[in-house]
Amino acid sequence: MARTSKKANRRHPLATVVLIAIGLAFTGGGYALFSSTATADTSTATSQATVEEGSKLFAANCATCHGMNLEGTTAGPSLLGVGAASVDFQVGTGRMPLAMQGPQAMQKPVQFTEEQTAALSAYVASLSPGPSIPTDSQLTENGNATNGGELFRINCAMCHNVAGAGGALTEGKFAPELTGVESKYIYEAMLTGPQNMPVFNDHNITPEDKRDIITYLKYIQNNPSPGGFELGNLGPVAEGLFIWIFGIGAVVALTVWLTAKSN
Amino acid sequence: MAHDDTSGTDVAAFSSGADGVSNSAGRAVEPSAASGGLAVITSDALADPGVPPHRKRVTDLDPKKARTAQRTVYTLFYLSIAGSIFAVAAYMAFPINADDPGSVRLNTVFLGLGITLALMGIGIGAVHWAKSLMHDEEGVDIRHPVRSSDDTRARAVEIFHEGNVESGIGRRSLIRNSLIGALVAFPLPAVILFRGLGPQNENPAELLSHTMWKAGARLTLDPSGLPIKAADVTIGSAFHIIPEGLNDAHDRLEQKAKAAVLLMRVNPSDLNVSAGRENWNYDGIVAYSKICTHVGCPVALFEQQTHHLLCPCHQSTFDVDNECAVIFGPAKRALPQLPITVDGEGYLIAQSDFLEPVGPSFWERS
């Protein structure tokens, strides 16, 4: 009796996992179907209404710095040719609209809904051509993580840290950490070079290579470090501080205990 | 307690009660018996305060406490046994699976915990045992002189003298000198063999002064080695460049360490080009050595708005607009520029090698 109940217990978690997987597959599949049909519907009807909407939003929220016709002012750069991808990145991650002038635009709570962001992107893209928002097929995370890792170390790691933990630049600027960033925004950042990040166009890092880099980033994000605690992946500073405080602290405490007379 | 033969009265034990006077060991300390060595004795020295009165431990006074301490010690030793067994069990229960980095983590964490428990159990148990239960006596060993007795010293000189007379090494100079010669010559093969492991017929200064770049060599992408068209380098781009053919070189890494280049494109009007370098860039596309002139770290942190290049090691900052002049940090020289142009097919090529040695200074650098 006890054996059977034990067996039943053992099966339970597996059954739950299978059930969850089936449920996820259904809802995910359903959502994918729904969203693809939805975009198919809107893309045909999109254009004019969305661009109109984007134009109004732009005039109300962006034109003060970027000019009524995207020509730029002393307070902000021209947006001619930046493309939908750039707008989607800057607005979608909450960097724009800017709260204040500073060394670099900080990430803030996102100010616009997805529809508004899409409208703004469509409006800016309608005035001058530029990189477009990557499609879902470009963002699959099933690329070659080994190749992505090599490309990441050559092109990205010097600023963003080899584990994507971010790092300091000059005069208060910094390269942000890449863990937890949506694949779409990583792709758009490479494509458009936001702020002080250089541009990595499709001739430099091909769309397949970009997919591999995203795969690598997601791989190191989803797999625990074999070495144990990462301590923020910041390298010798964090690790040195840890050893100084806890390692040497333990040695001092043990030494005090060793030499103290027993009461 | 080990007694010393030469100074006789240098050991005393203090295990008395609260009165602080040595009585159980039977002999008081006699500091005058030991040599003061080189210590300077000042006339107004403070009197030796002596040893503080002996304080008994709770385990000496209370048998109950002693039993508790005993229990603690053997519990720690049993814990150590448990830790060792746990480590063996963890090694088997959490095997390392090559496909799962997380398994390495589990394996090392539990194995480490087990071994830590095993070692710490023995160590802490032994120290606690010694501190709370072992005999509580304080002893003093007085330092004895290092100098041997005169008899021993005279005998040593005599032995050397006898050796000289018996072997005749002082008298038979031909034998002595040929032996010295043989001993000097013996390590020579080792020196030559070890020298043979190093580079041959190479002048390090010459090697450091030249890279793989030569006239007409295409600029290719790191790591794929694909050539780059000038039209593909958009403004604000940063390309990591290796010379054409580097991936096929037998000494690929040595060559890459010198020839690595960062290619950037800025607005041509932003560039302040000095005389003689007018045709080194191509429509705002510039190529600079990636090896820092300070101590050779790869300088590749390109800020595309400020056009500054930052070295991550010591924060040397170079201004791409002014031919990578140093604007901050410990570097003393600008990054060497690689003169580039395009070939007939539109691919970027080098006009020549760097016109100065890349990387940090060395003695022979002019």
pLDDT-based confidence at residue A16 (cuts at 50, 70, 90): confident
Q: Considering the domain boundaries, does residue B357 fall inside one?
A: no
Q: Considering the domain boundaries, does residue B38 fall inside one?
A: no
Residues B114 and B216 occupy one common structural domain: no
pLDDT value, residue A31: 63
Per-residue pLDDT tens over the stretch A110-128: 989 999 999 999 999 988 8
Q: Considering the domain boundaries, does residue B361 fall inside one?
A: no
- Under an 8 A CB cutoff, do B223 and A167 touch? no
Residues B227 and B119 occupy one common structural domain: no
Q: Considering the domain boundaries, does residue B195 fall inside one?
A: no
Domain that holds residue B93: 58-141
Q: What is the CATH number of the domain that holds B295?
A: 2.102.10.10
pLDDT value, residue A187: 94
Q: Tell me which of B141, B167, B193 is where a domain ends.
A: B141
- Under an 8 A CB cutoff, do A154 and B312 touch? no
Q: Considering the domain boundaries, does residue B206 fall inside one?
A: no
Mean pLDDT within A215-228? 85
- Under an 8 A CB cutoff, do B298 and A158 touch? yes
- Shortest alpha-carbon distance between residue A193 and chain B (Å): 7
Residues B247 and B331 occupy one common structural domain: yes
Task: Choose the closest CB to B234 out of A154, A201, A226.
Answer: A201
- Under an 8 A CB cutoff, do B310 and A170 touch? yes
Residues B221 and B95 occupy one common structural domain: no
pLDDT value, residue B159: 96
Per-residue pLDDT tens over the stretch A140-174: 888 899 999 999 999 999 999 988 988 889 888 99
Q: Tell me which of B141, B173, B197 is where a domain ends.
A: B141
In this predicted model, which residue has the larger pLDDT, A200 or B13?
A: A200
Give contacts of B108 with chain A, Cβ < 8 Å.
Answer: 226, 228
Give the list of residues 6+ apart from residue B336 with CB closer than 8 angstroms, or none.
Answer: B288, B289, B293, B354, B355, B356, B357, B358
Closest CA to B331 of B349, B316, B320: B316
Residue pointed to by tokens 């031919």: B323
Which of A17-26, A165-174, B299-308 has the weakest average pLDDT? A17-26
Give contacts of A199 with chain B, Cβ < 8 Å.
Answer: 234-238, 304
Give contacts of A257 with chain B, Cβ < 8 Å.
Answer: 127
Per-residue pLDDT tens over the stretch B76-85: 999 999 999 9
Residue B17, pLDDT above cutoff 50? no
Residues B215 and B346 occupy one common structural domain: yes
> HSE-up of B44 (CA within 13 Å, CB side)?
0
pLDDT value, residue B356: 93
Domains and CATH numbers, chain A: 45-132 (1.10.760.10), 134-230 (1.10.760.10)
Indicate the helix (H) or strand (E) that contains B225. none
**Which tokens go with B337?**
């520029």
**Which tokens go with B141?**
């060993």
Q: Considering the domain boundaries, does residue B296 fall inside one?
A: yes
Task: Tally the residues of chain A.
Answer: 263
Residues B244 and B340 occupy one common structural domain: yes
Residues B219 and B322 occupy one common structural domain: yes
Mean pLDDT within B236-244? 93
Give the total number of structural domains in chain B: 2
Q: Considering the domain boundaries, does residue B86 fall inside one?
A: yes
pLDDT value, residue A10: 54
Q: Considering the domain boundaries, does residue B321 fall inside one?
A: yes
- Shortest alpha-carbon distance between residue A48 and chain B (Å): 30
Residues B335 and B225 occupy one common structural domain: yes
Average pLDDT value for chain A: 84
Task: Choose the closest CB to A263 out of B57, B221, B304.
Answer: B57
Instruction: Summarize the annotated binding site of A for heme c as residue ranges.
Output: 62, 65-66, 156, 159-160
Query: Hey, is B207 helix, strand or coil?
Result: helix
Mean pLDDT within A175-195? 92
Which of A104, A146, A197, A204 best probes binding to B when mutated, by most B CB atoms within 10 angstroms?
A204
A–B CB contacts, 8 A cutoff, strictly below: 86
Residue A108, pLDDT above cutoff 70? yes
Mean pLDDT within A220-247? 85
- Under an 8 A CB cutoff, do A170 and B300 touch? no
Residues B133 and B219 occupy one common structural domain: no
Q: How far is CA A21 from the centre of its chain?
A: 25
pLDDT value, residue A38: 45
pTM (2 d.p.): 0.72
Q: How far is CA A38 from CA A24, A48, A117, in A?
A: 20, 17, 17
Give contacts of A153 with chain B, Cβ < 8 Å.
Answer: none
- Under an 8 A CB cutoff, do A193 and B304 touch? yes
In this predicted model, which residue has the larger pLDDT, B292 or B201?
A: B292
